[in-house]
Amino acid sequence: MIQHARRSLAIALLLVCSWSLPALAQTVFPGADWQVDKPEAQSLSPEIVAKVGEWLKENGSKSGLMVRHGRIVGEWYFGDAKPDSKHIVYSTSKSFSSTAAGVAIAQGKLKLDSKVGDYFPDAMPASKRDITVKQLLSMTSGAHSDNAQLPRTDLFKYVLEELPMDSAPGTKWEYNNTGLAILSPVVQAATGQNIDQVLNENVFKKIGIPRGDWSWEDREGIPISYSGLHITARSLARYGLLMLNKGMWKEEKVIGSDWVAEAIAPSQEMNKRYGYLWWNNLDQKAWPGVPRDAYAAMGKFDNDMLIVPSLDLIVIRQVGDDTGANRQLKIADLFALATSAVTDVSPSSKTADSPINVEVEKAFPKLQITRPILVANAGDGSNRLFVPSQLGAIHVFVNDANVEEPGVFLDLEPKVEYIDRENEKGLLGLAFHPKYRQNGEFFVYYTPKKTDKPHTVLISRFKVSK
């Protein structure tokens, strides 16, 4: 039994403090310019960050960027490149197109199950009319892949009226530029705007990407959804920072957090590394040594951007058009090197995101924990693991094969004010007294409900009764 200690019981003390949440290691957002900091000030090894720069140079890069906690901690330009240089990022453009579709969906102008035929009833062959927006975003359209057709000036007329279908929509995964090209006219028909206009109005302006920092190739005035974006490294990083913060920019929701989560998750069963035009690292095979929660926008010639939520880290490599160089680089080496620079790995990066992976000698398939924030051990010799949810409940995993499901150690959810932003509000931490085995005391700190003071944190000491 757990008792909330009261002064009258003379058992323990209830501590209540009001303070501003600490600024250290919290994400900052750039204004007109970025904050630039030394790697070690953001818990990165300066030696390894220097090696990242060496790797970029040795592999013919034009620009490179590392951002941690919203601060630039590594920035490199080679040859004639400089901070205002725009480089084509090829298929990294696809991830931007995904966001454009997400914005249109959030505005109610488009749906994931909207069909090509809803906007182009004369599309041919007839089976093309059944392709959904979700299938376009997940590379399961079934349309024929033919890169030789991409330079056509009448590309969109061709993909809507002549491009063959190889399979029924939704039955085959294939990385496919001609199929994805269909998304551009679909978004235009649904919203009355091209994908670049949707992004500029609803995303770029809000996060400080100036019009001079980007351009987008088009066919007859319609931007191509599979490639064509030219952008500076710093503006690319702004988009990465938006994604890293689940669509939030300062206090404004620019993209829904639910869309961000869905876009980077597996979009179908045939290739679980692929979301809605984003690549993930769930199998940790393509990018070994990189945290499982990492995801990336990836373009031809490795014009890439890696985002690692558990490390609050963004890594960018740009080379633009590298035709003829025939480089044999392995981008996974850069990703692993950059992430290894982090010296203060958050406990949350070691917390399983699904209970079936919690290593307590037993899987608990029925348990679901929303927003687990850390794994703690009481140090009482029992080998119990405590997993708090940011919503307020603390679950206890007992190292006992006879226990069917873990229990709730303490439930503060009715008292916790929770906001779905990275470490914004909720249950923020759990700590056991160094003499927990003797005194049964532990501490919980959280943002309480019904408080008149902003940024108030309540610290409570609890005692487990004998």
| pLDDT (tens place) for every residue of the chain, 466 residues total | 444 433 222 222 222 332 222 333 578 999 999 999 999 999 999 999 999 999 999 999 999 999 999 999 999 999 999 999 999 999 999 999 999 999 999 999 999 999 999 999 999 999 999 999 999 999 999 999 999 999 999 999 999 999 999 999 999 999 999 999 999 999 999 999 999 999 999 999 999 999 999 999 999 999 999 999 999 999 999 999 999 999 999 989 999 999 999 999 999 999 999 999 999 999 999 999 999 999 999 999 999 999 999 999 999 999 999 999 989 899 999 999 999 999 986 444 443 333 333 333 445 555 667 777 777 776 666 667 778 887 888 877 766 656 666 677 788 777 877 776 555 677 788 888 777 777 778 888 778 887 777 667 788 887 775 4
For residue 46, tell me if it sits in a domain. Answer: no
Number of domains present in the structure of the chain: 2
d(CA 99, CA 97): 5
Per-residue model confidence (pLDDT) at position 384: 74
Dig out the tokens for 249 from the structure: 């920019």
Residues 145, 275, single domain; the answer is yes
**Is there a contact between 89 and 226 (Cβ–Cβ < 8 Å)?**
no
Provide the CATH number for the domain around residue 164.
3.40.710.10
Whole-angstrom CA distances from 258 to 106, 244, 360, 369, 444 are: 10, 13, 30, 17, 28
Residues 102, 204, single domain; the answer is yes
Residues 202, 321, single domain; the answer is yes
For residue 121, tell me if it sits in a domain. Answer: yes
CA 184 to chain centre: 24
Residues 280, 377, single domain; the answer is no
For residue 422, tell me if it sits in a domain. Answer: yes
Per-residue model confidence (pLDDT) at position 76: 98
Which positions ≥6 away from 328 have C-beta within 8 Å? none
For residue 410, tell me if it sits in a domain. Answer: yes
Last-in-domain residue among 279, 308, 343 = 343
Per-residue model confidence (pLDDT) at position 428: 80
Whole-angstrom CA distances from 426 to 347, 459, 465 are: 17, 12, 26
Residues 358, 436, single domain; the answer is yes
* E-strand stretches of 320-440: 376-377, 385-388, 393-397, 407-411, 427-432
Last-in-domain residue among 343, 359, 380 = 343
Residues 174, 246, single domain; the answer is yes
For residue 314, tell me if it sits in a domain. Answer: yes
Residues 239, 331, single domain; the answer is yes
For residue 55, tell me if it sits in a domain. Answer: no
Last-in-domain residue among 313, 343, 373 = 343
Residues 328, 380, single domain; the answer is no
Picking from 295, 276, 296, the residue whose alpha carbon sits closest to that of residue 134 is 276
Please count the other Cβ atoms lying within 10 Å of the Cβ belonging to residue 220.
10
Per-residue model confidence (pLDDT) at position 407: 76
Residues 281, 378, single domain; the answer is no
Per-residue model confidence (pLDDT) at position 420: 62
Q: The whole model's pTM is what? A: 0.72
Residues 129, 197, single domain; the answer is yes
d(CA 390, CA 393): 8
Range of the domain at 208: 87-343
